[in-house]
């Protein structure tokens, strides 16, 4: 069945991207066939959350699927509170993190095919076998200071050839906001501190007036 679908999609060309998904300091255009999945399905699990720094805080931010059942593909996007720089060291570190996450945390032996730095991100491609089904796994990580974003795509091997081009376009659309831009501007912080100090002085002044009024005969 999927062979015919792949041939049809190949003839029609890459599927268009969907609307922009904005949350948790990043924005990306997922493939048009993907939709948001119920996040409660992943609560209490480590699925989709991996980090080159094992002790770094991390959480699943978005889960997208393009269908139901074992033939569906998925994209899990997580946010990691740790710094990631582009380069050979980050490529090797992400490869190690992917193997550790899939083998040790999810119990799925991972066969590594390639790891590279491309288009402003680190990518690791490989495969896992779930029962009788072989699935391709693509992990992409975007650099950032103090925090970075990681996406994991899983799809049946028979669908990979059709999905790969649109996934590449989707990952090219990813934009991650610097941590500094997510914090309030310094002038706003100073203004807020000045307002708190002024309110405190007013409160002290009122208290002193009340105390003086009570002491008067």
Q: Tell me, what's the pLDDT at 11?
A: 44
pLDDT at 181 over 50: no
| 194/176 same-domain check | no
Q: 94 and 116 in contact (C-beta within 8 Å)?
A: no
* Number of structural domains found in the chain: 2
| 16/85 same-domain check | yes
Tell me the whole-structure pTM to 2 decimals: 0.74
Burial class for 76, CB neighbours closer than 10 Å (0-12, 13-18, 19+): buried
| Residues of the domain holding 191 | 184-215
- How confident is residue 102, by pLDDT bands cut at 50, 70 and 90? confident
Q: Tell me, what's the pLDDT at 178?
A: 83
| 118/14 same-domain check | yes
- How confident is residue 118, by pLDDT bands cut at 50, 70 and 90? very high
Please calculate the CA angle 34-68-77 and round it to the nearest 5 degrees: 45
| 200/120 same-domain check | no
Report, as an integer, the average pLDDT of 97-110.
86
* Rounded Cα gap, residues 26 and 208, in angstroms: 50
| 189/175 same-domain check | no
| 199/162 same-domain check | no
| 113/158 same-domain check | yes
Q: Which residue has the higher pLDDT, 109 or 39?
A: 109
* Three-class DSSP category at 60: strand
Report, as an integer, the average pLDDT of 148-154.
94
Whole-number mean pLDDT of the chain?
Answer: 81
Report, as an integer, the average pLDDT of 113-123.
95
C-alpha dist (Å) from residue 207 to 106, 197, 198, 201, 217: 61, 15, 14, 10, 18
| 138/201 same-domain check | no
CATH code (residue 61): 3.40.1000.10
* Rounded Cα gap, residues 217 and 203, in angstroms: 24
pLDDT digits (tens, 9 = 90+) for 34-81: 999 887 766 555 566 787 877 888 888 999 999 988 899 999 999 999
Q: Tell me, what's the pLDDT at 107?
A: 84
């Amino acid at each position: 069945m999927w062979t015919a679908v792949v041939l049809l999609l190949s003839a029609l060309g890459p599927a268009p991207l969907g609307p922009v998904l904005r949350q948790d300091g990043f924005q990306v255009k997922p493939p048009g066939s993907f939709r948001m999945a119920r996040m409660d399905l992943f609560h209490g699990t480590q699925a989709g959350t991996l980090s080159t720094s094992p002790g770094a805080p991390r959480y699943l931010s978005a889960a997208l699927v393009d269908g139901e059942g074992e033939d569906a593909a998925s994209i899990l996007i997580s946010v990691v509170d740790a710094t990631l720089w582009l380069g050979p060291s980050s490529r090797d570190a992400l490869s190690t993190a992917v193997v550790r996450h899939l083998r040790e945390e999810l119990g799925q032996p991972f066969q590594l095919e390639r790891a590279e730095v491309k288009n402003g991100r680190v990518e690791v491609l490989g495969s896992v076998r779930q029962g009788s089904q072989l699935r391709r796994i693509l992990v992409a990580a975007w650099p950032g200071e103090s925090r970075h974003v990681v996406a994991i795509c899983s799809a049946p091997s028979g669908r990979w050839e059709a999905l790969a081009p649109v996934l590449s376009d989707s990952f090219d659309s990813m934009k991650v906001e610097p941590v500094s831009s997510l914090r309030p501007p310094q002038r706003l912080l100073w203004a807020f501190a000045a307002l708190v100090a002024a309110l405190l002085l007013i409160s002290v002044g009122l208290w002193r007036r009340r105390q003086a009024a009570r002491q008067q005969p």
